[in-house]
Structure 1
Amino acid sequence: MSITLVWAREPIPTGPSVFLAGPTPRLGGDVESWRPAAVEALAEQWTGPGPLTVLTPESRGGKRAAHYDDQVGWETAARKAATAVLFWIPRDLRTLPGFTTNVEFGLDAGSGRAVLGCPPDCPNPERNRYLIYVAREHGVPVRETLHETATAALALVAAATRHGEL
């Protein structure tokens, strides 16, 4: 089925959606974003009756927000509106530290809409141990590959659909 990609600060539609939470590479750096692979994994697996909206905190065309609060406000609203919040944390303290992601996960862990993906082969997997602990305390699914994390996020979307929450 189809995917509708919504970039940072664009209008947030209603309907089934997944927010892609996790560290964002810095503009002009040499680290590629993991989000295109996440969109691909979601698109491959989505079988819902209509389109799935994927909300990304990255900016269309790399255009940054004029004001920090505009970006943070949009991300907060998008995470709150999302049917599922997919956290992917390929922790690398040098290039993808994810410090903001830690706070966001703490805010969303008890929502019933979060999934946590932490690859064991990332540069600093030991820095994800506490998040994994918190996830388990809150019943958040924990996965080790991006594909499995996408599967878990779509299971939350399917459950919300079955329960008439969408």
Structure 2
Amino acid sequence: MSENLDLVWAHEELPATGAPSVFLAGPTPRSEDVPSWRPEAVDLLAAQWDGPQPLTVLTPETRGGFRAVHYDDQFAWETAARAAATAVLFWIPRDLRTLPGFTTNVEFGHDVTTGRTVLGCPPDCPDPRRNRYLIHLAHHYGAPVRETLPDTVGAALALLRAPS
């Protein structure tokens, strides 16, 4: 882990507000056979972040890969973490077999009007057509849309650097 980055896993205490933070929203693998996209996003954030204080990265995955015992606990943590984040990075490499992202669709619809979201949808994912509505919604509300994970990370960090 980089010195300029603090990683907060699901169900861990959220940091005090005021520090720059990014929530990593998007589909979570439900099988050990499907790799998570989040480690790459964390590496990219660490490499691109040049702010004067550490960046907090909030991930809905749990430390060690353990799943929440109660769905309500996961929902409550994710909802609070997305609300607390300075930026919410949505990365949706849609694959209806392995990473369908149905919950992600709802979360994006909920958050897109906040002015704190970035949408990343790779055109070469297995089911890119399933992202068309989200892309349209993002454009409608002025949320940045990117096609690669590095560009999506860059757009999320640009939100943090923008004057408020």
Match of 1:73 in 2: 76
TM-fit CA distance, 1:64: 1.5
Match of 2:150 in 1: 147
Match of 2:40 in 1: 37
Instruction: Give SS of 1:116's match.
Output: strand
User: Please, which runs of 5 or more residues in structure 2 have no aligned partner?
Assistant: none
TM-fit CA distance, 1:76: 0.2
CA–CA distance in 2 between the matches of 1:152 and 1:138? 15
CA–CA distance in 1 between the matches of 2:38 and 2:13? 19
Match of 2:5 in 1: 3
Aligned residue identity for 1:82 = A
TM-fit CA distance, 1:29: 3.1
Instruction: Give SS of 2:111's match.
Output: helix
TM-fit CA distance, 1:57: 0.1
Instruction: Give SS of 2:36's match.
Output: coil
Identity of aligned residues (%): 73
CA–CA distance in 1 between the matches of 2:122 and 2:158? 20
Instruction: Give SS of 2:10's match.
Output: coil
Instruction: Give SS of 1:85's match.
Output: strand
Aligned residue identity for 2:22 = V
TM-fit CA distance, 1:66: 1.9
Match of 1:25 in 2: 29
User: Please, which runs of 5 or more residues in structure 1 have no aligned partner?
Assistant: none
Instruction: Give SS of 2:33's match.
Output: coil
Query: What whole-Å deviation, never above 9, does each CA across 1:32-73 have from its counterpart, x for those lacking one?
Result: 000000001111100100100000000001122121100000
Match of 2:56 in 1: 53
Instruction: Give SS of 1:54's match.
Output: strand
Q: TM-score, normalised by structure 1?
A: 0.94
Which of residues 98, 122, 125 is equivalent to 2:125? 122
Paired positions, count: 160
Instruction: Give SS of 2:125's match.
Output: coil
